[in-house]
Each structure stands twice: as C-alpha cells, then as structure tokens.
Amino acid sequence: MIDRSIPLSTRLAVLFGGAHQQFGWAFFSFGMLFTLIFVPATDLSFVTFRGEMQTAPAVVTDVTETRYSEGGGKGRRGTRVMEIHYRWTDPAGAERQASSFDVRNNLAVGDTANVEYLVADPERSRLVGLRRAPITALALLVLIFPAAGLGLTMWGRHKARQQLRLLEHGQLLEALVLSVDSRKYGKRQRQYTLSLRVPAEGEPHDIVGHVTLDASAAAAGARVQVLMQRALGERAERMQLCLLREIATHPRISSDGAQVEPTTAGRVALRMALPTLLCTALLVYMLLS
C-alpha cells in the first residue's frame, strides 16, 4: 500500500486553498458583514419575548428617528423607523425606562400608552403593537448568505480531504485524454467531462470518466497526471481519481513517488489569508461587543 509523507505546509494549502473554499470563505465573509450589521438590530421577540405577560400604563418621554427605514426602493425613500422612548412603573413600584420601534407613529411626547411586559422579567417590555428592535424578523434572511458560504466551504473541505487521501495513498499515473465533452458552468467557466485511458500506455487499463474545470486538460490526445486509488465498496470495487493539477497549489511528488514536496510559505499564507482575517475580525468583534 502506498503511504506518502505529506508536509504540513501542503496539507494546509490543500485544506484551505481550493477554489470552492476560497469562494466560500469570501461569500461567508460578505454574508457575515451584513449579519453583524442587521441581526443585532432585528426584533427577535418571537423567540426572546415569550411567557406570561401583563400590561401597564406608560408615558412617552421622547420620539426620535432611527437610521433605519422600510419600504424604500429605486427613486424613492422608505419610511423612517421611529424610536419611541417611554417610562412606566412596574407592580413592585420600580420606575423603568425602555423604547419600542415602528414606522406607524401616532404618539407624541407626553402621550400615554399601554406597555406589555414579562411577569418573570419586567425589564423586558414593549409598547403594545410595537416591536422591541428597529428591524423586523425578515432581516434574518441575511443569514442565508453566510450559511451558503459556510456550506460551500465545507463541501470544498470534504473534497480537499479526498484529495489529501489520494495524495497520501493514490497511485501516480499518466492518463490519456480520449475525448472531451464541454458545457457552460456558471457565467464565465466551462465544465469538462473527460474520458481517460488509465494508464496512457500498457495493459491492463481502465476507461474512466472524470469531470473537471481545468481547461488545460480539455484536449483529446493530451496526457495528464492523475492520482488513482481503488477501494472495495459494499457491492463492487470503487475507484477514486483526481487530476494532480486540480489540487490546490499543484503539489509535486518526488521522482521516486515516496513523498510530496513542501509548499512554499508564501503560497500557504496566501491561501490562509482570508479565513485567518475573517476569524480574527470575528474574535475582535466578540471581544469589543
């Protein structure tokens, strides 16, 4: 059984350097930016404001505009969300101050209104019919973006682990591209389905289908290096294969095939820059908030 030595630098480059992972980290970072902006200002009363409630009279002490608005679009401004500050006295006689939010504001300073509060925690209250934060729960839809980015990253990580297993235990062979089927993939890329003869010469051989985005291998008659490993499945023998060029940073295998050459520190740092910056930014945010 082949058992190559893979340096730590190459492992890190493969685990963090794939195109899907880099795009996933970028999409996750983009999504987290909006998440950290909007989610803290989102009304989560459907989760956090539950339990036995009672009402009490309150007095409006101030009405101010927030920086949030609703219903805007191209060529028109939305309706500004208002913050209504109020003061009320709980059953224990303690005076409390809080604020509620809404775009429909018919209240002025000095007006009276009803406040509803949690019996178990009177500190948490809101004016009846209003919300406890500027933005409605629809803002939680922004969580789709970091979730999609994280999912893409995890899928890329799974693929990277498969490639590492092939680097460690796969047989390095030269394959002959017999035919290529090309189709559009996304807006700017093309996906190629290759029919490979593995190995390129000699017997016995296998005809293997392989899907790749690597345009350099998309030419009938081309010879490409592949890593292949056979494994026994539940019902039949299973074959795993990848092009050596598909692996992030295009690692090199020594001439005797016994070990993988180290990846340069610069390449590793470049691949890890985005996840490192993201994790650092999130840590700083949590420490400061």
For the chain, domains (ranges, CATH) are: 43-134 (2.40.50), 170-247 (2.40.50)
CB 239 within 8 A of CB 208: yes
Report DSSP state, residue 203.
S
* pLDDT above 60: residue 233: no
Mean pLDDT, the chain, integer: 88
CB 122 within 8 A of CB 90: yes
Q: How many CB atoms lie within 10 A of CB 69?
A: 14
pLDDT at 237: 62
Residues 6+ apart with CB under 8 A from 2: 168, 169, 170, 171, 257
pLDDT at 232: 61
Average pLDDT value for residue range 33-56: 92
* pLDDT above 90: residue 88: yes
pLDDT > 90: what percent of the chain? Answer: 45
121-145 pLDDT tens trace: 999 999 999 999 999 999 999 999 9
Choice among 32-46, 177-191, 225-239 with the minimum mean pLDDT: 225-239
Q: How far is CA 221 from the centre of its chain?
A: 39
pTM of this structure: 0.75
